Amino acid sequence: MTTFSTSTPSILLQNLKMNSSEQPGPWLNSSTLLPMKSSSLGVSCFTMTFGAISNLTALGILAKSRVRFRRPSKSPFLLLTVALLLADLAGHVIPGAFALYLHMDQINQMKAVKPTKVFCQIFGASMVFFGLCPLLLGFAMAVERCVAITRPFFHAAMVTLGHVWRVVLLLSSLAFVLAVLPLFEVGTYTTQFPGTWCFLPIHGPKSTADTNLVLAFSCLGLTALTFSLLCNILSGLALLQARKKSHNVNTKSAARYTRRASSTSSTFSRSLNVEMMVQLAVITVVSCVCWSPFLIHILVKQFKQRTSTQEKDGFILLGLRMASWNQILDPWVYILLRKAVLIRVCCAKVTENRSSADSHRQAFMLQ
């Protein structure tokens, strides 16, 4: 998903030709609308371009570092990471292109041109699909790492690339089925305030199918975030416990000499586990911060009965913008939280501290 503008062209509502087969957005009941700002189109273009470049950069870095993930125990995580970045990339380009089309159409015609039913249905389906996919894939990554760290032998025997491919297809199919249900007259998609995006009906009177679809979308997303947090906590505790045991073993002089041959391999594996866990933990935190306001807000709205259909919900637009930034921040987690980058930062910090200590020592000696 990409960032959407906050204004629409000024025109009397009666001049709009409504499609009687599509449920209008509640905000369209107002008499006049604000003029479109051309700067909002530039912001949307920049957001979509920056998000696409960020995900392509992260995919390129992963392609170069695939040698480090050749181990069978690490390959599933790499596959899930690639799937997540591809979903983020497509989630910027495809819905972003639909949103830019509405922006440019409104600017060129200088009036609020309501999108056709087919266009809104496809736009809304892409919003739902590319909104759910990153959350479900992030949940799969958290479960995979939790099993790999807490049950390594079971992970090595049962979790293969073939199984991970099936999980990716299953989760993608789940998001796809939920997204295309309105295309088969199970629910509908409507234009949302301020007229630059389409989604499931959130405000005003709606059918039972619409309410159930919104609840399913929100509950699936929140469930994925919750279980991702729980799995990351378990994985972090397991890594800390393993590090403590390893430290106790290495303090014994006998183990220091007899296990020297295997220490290098285990240290590399442990450092790679820590690197992946740091990346996954930050991704989960970013996803929770970006997606929780939007998901919780639309969930609460389903239990608040409103008789008025006029509602310009600025908070839901803010939540949508925050959710769109999740797909921009995900690739930067992999770009910045790589082992090579962290080592450079640590070395630079150590060098800075040493130079500062030397300068203080020299100043003290001159006194």
Per-residue pLDDT of the chain (367 residues; tens, 9 = 90+): 665 544 433 332 333 333 334 444 444 544 334 445 555 677 778 888 888 999 999 898 888 876 655 666 678 888 999 999 999 999 989 998 888 888 777 666 655 556 778 889 999 999 999 999 999 999 999 999 899 889 988 888 888 889 999 999 999 999 999 999 999 989 899 988 777 888 999 887 788 999 999 999 999 999 999 999 999 999 888 888 877 776 666 565 444 544 444 444 455 455 667 777 888 888 899 999 999 999 999 999 888 765 444 456 678 888 888 998 898 888 888 788 776 665 665 565 556 556 665 666 665 565 6
pTM score, whole prediction: 0.78
Cα–Cα distances in angstroms (integers) from residue 30 to residues 255, 267, 310, 317, in the given order: 76, 64, 7, 18
Is the CB of residue 85 less than 8 Å from the CB of residue 58? yes
Report the SS3 class of residue 190.
Answer: strand
Distance of CA 164 to the CA centre of its chain: 19
DSSP state of 198: E
Distances in whole angstroms, Cα of residue 184 to Cα of each of 91, 124, 173, 329: 23, 13, 16, 34
d(CA 261, CA 305): 68
With b meaning 16 or more CB within 10 Å and e meaning fewer, what string describes 326-355? Answer: bbbbbbebbeebbeeeeeeeeeeeeeeeee
Judged on CB neighbours under 10 Å (0-12, 13-18, 19+), 81 is buried
The structural domains of the chain, ordered by start, are 38-247+270-348 (1.20.1070.10)
| CA separation for the pair 135, 100 (Å, rounded) | 24
